[in-house]
């Protein structure tokens, strides 16, 4: 029976890279019935809304989506469509594996890390007060009155909130993922030495949860030290779990370590739905040129296959991607040492080469 999957082609390079991923997934022999939905600028133009209800409903119904990158229009008061989608579906866990593929131009080799980022709270909950507004003044007055501190009345305010419930949920997700994927060590990343209450709570919950998983090693690192250690001795780490902001930053760091955005996949996972997408955005300057790297989107498709428990198909696509990148012949220009656009393969040509490898 075919899997019903919502497919959001996306904006900019989205239709090209998600089209490539769709063809590769179909070439595995796993049957899909795609429910194609528009979101982002494409939907704004056709339906007057960056995130039409139909899109959220479709993912709710199917429980799974492959999503191309979406452009957040600048100005007009638009919040990120991607953040809105994660909140609408309560996709609380952002899973970002970072593994080096031989042949990719990167400073590091043999990287095999997983970043698990909390997706729902922290400074990203959108509780902000614009500098100079009545709201900001009221909040600052209350803070100064209650805390005895002296926050300047000219300050802009962003609220960081960390709850035990969301901390527990993300740390349990990290340990469950570690158990299922034979990961040996979970590291909680925080800044609890400075933010004793918010990050301190996250760390305390992480320590508590770790006791429920005695077969997996646990430690913690302060976020700045974590960045340095990743540069110096990444081999000492395995799976990193952290609140939203640090996760956003560290997962770009790990993406950089494996060769950049073109090869970095991700998944946003909740209780009832999962959305698979590349980390990169819609890269408008590459749109319509058949030159964007489809790897990140195809590897997001590998994660989708694993989520469906189609392990053989997932492994086959992963191996095919690895072979094509290693051979270096049919890869997009950004994967070439000379970065030659003339010699680089097109997006669709790279997908064809991966499909040919799958069929070998």
**Catalytic site residue from 199, 220, 248, 334:** 248
Question: Nearest approach, Cβ of 285 to ligand NAD (angstroms)?
Answer: 5
Question: Nearest approach, Cβ of 22 to ligand NAD (angstroms)?
Answer: 15
Specify whether 124 is catalytic: yes
**Catalytic site residue from 53, 141, 224, 312:** 224
Closer to ligand NAD by Cβ: residue 193 or 285: 285
Closer to ligand NAD by Cβ: residue 200 or 281: 281
Closer to ligand NAD by Cβ: residue 220 or 318: 318
How far apart (Å, rounded) are the C-alpha atoms in residues 246 and 243? 6
Specify whether 224 is catalytic: yes
Closer to ligand NAD by Cβ: residue 79 or 196: 79
Backbone angles phi, psi at 212, to 5 degrees: -80, -5
- List of residues contacting ligand NAD (CB under 6 A): 13, 17, 69-72, 82, 261-262, 277, 280-283, 285-286, 292-293, 296, 334
Instruction: Label residue 69 left, alpha or beta by phi (over 0 means left) and psi (-120 to 50 means alpha).
Output: beta
Beta sheet of 217-222, edge-to-edge order: 32-36, 3-8, 64-67, 274-278, 265-269, 93-99, 112-118, 239-242, 185-190, 217-222
Closer to ligand NAD by Cβ: residue 218 or 276: 276
Question: Nearest approach, Cβ of 208 to ligand NAD (angstroms)?
Answer: 32
Question: Nearest approach, Cβ of 199 to ligand NAD (angstroms)?
Answer: 25
Residue nearest to ligand NAD (CB): 281
**Catalytic site residue from 124, 177, 237, 333:** 124
How far apart (Å, rounded) are the C-alpha atoms in residues 51 and 55? 7
Specify whether 191 is catalytic: yes
Specify whether 338 is catalytic: no
Q: Which residues are catalytic?
A: 124, 191, 224, 248
């Amino acid at each position: 029976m075919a899997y019903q999957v919502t497919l959001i082609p996306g904006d900019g390079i989205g239709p090209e890279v998600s089209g490539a991923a769709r063809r590769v997934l179909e070439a595995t022999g796993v049957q899909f019935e795609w429910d194609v939905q528009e979101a982002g600028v494409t939907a704004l133009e056709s339906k007057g809304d960056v995130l039409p209800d139909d899109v959220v409903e479709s993912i709710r119904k199917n429980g799974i989506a492959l999503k191309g990158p979406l452009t957040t229009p600048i100005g007009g008061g638009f919040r990120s469509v991607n953040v809105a989608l994660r909140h609408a579906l309560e996709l609380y866990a952002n899973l970002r594996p970072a593994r080096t593929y031989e042949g990719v131009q990167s400073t590091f080799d043999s990287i095999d890390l997983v970043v698990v980022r909390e997706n729902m709270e922290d400074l990203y909950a959108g509780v902000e007060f614009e500098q100079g507004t009545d709201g900001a003044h009221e909040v600052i007055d209350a803070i100064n009155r209650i805390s005895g501190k002296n926050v300047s009345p000219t300050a802009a305010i962003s609220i960081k909130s960390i709850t035990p419930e969301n901390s527990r949920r993300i740390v349990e997700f990290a340990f469950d993922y570690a158990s299922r994927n034979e990961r040996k060590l979970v590291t909680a990343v925080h800044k609890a030495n400075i933010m004793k209450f918010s990050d301190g709570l996250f760390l305390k919950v992480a320590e508590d949860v770790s006791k429920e998983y005695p077969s997996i090693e646990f430690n913690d690192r302060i976020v700045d030290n974590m960045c340095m250690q990743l540069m110096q001795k990444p081999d000492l780490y395995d799976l990193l779990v952290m609140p939203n902001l640090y996760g956003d930053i560290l997962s770009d760091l790990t993406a950089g370590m494996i060769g950049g955005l073109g090869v970095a996949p991700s998944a946003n996972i909740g209780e009832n739905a999962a959305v698979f997408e590349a980390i990169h955005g819609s890269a408008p300057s590459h749109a319509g040129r058949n030159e964007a790297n489809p790897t990140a989107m195809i590897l997001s498709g590998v994660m989708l296959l694993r989520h469906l428990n189609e392990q053989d198909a997932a492994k086959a696509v992963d191996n095919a991607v690895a072979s094509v990148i290693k051979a270096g012949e049919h890869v997009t220009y950004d994967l070439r040492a000379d970065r030659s656009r003339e010699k680089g393969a097109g997006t669709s040509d790279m997908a064809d080469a991966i499909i040919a490898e799958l069929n070998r």
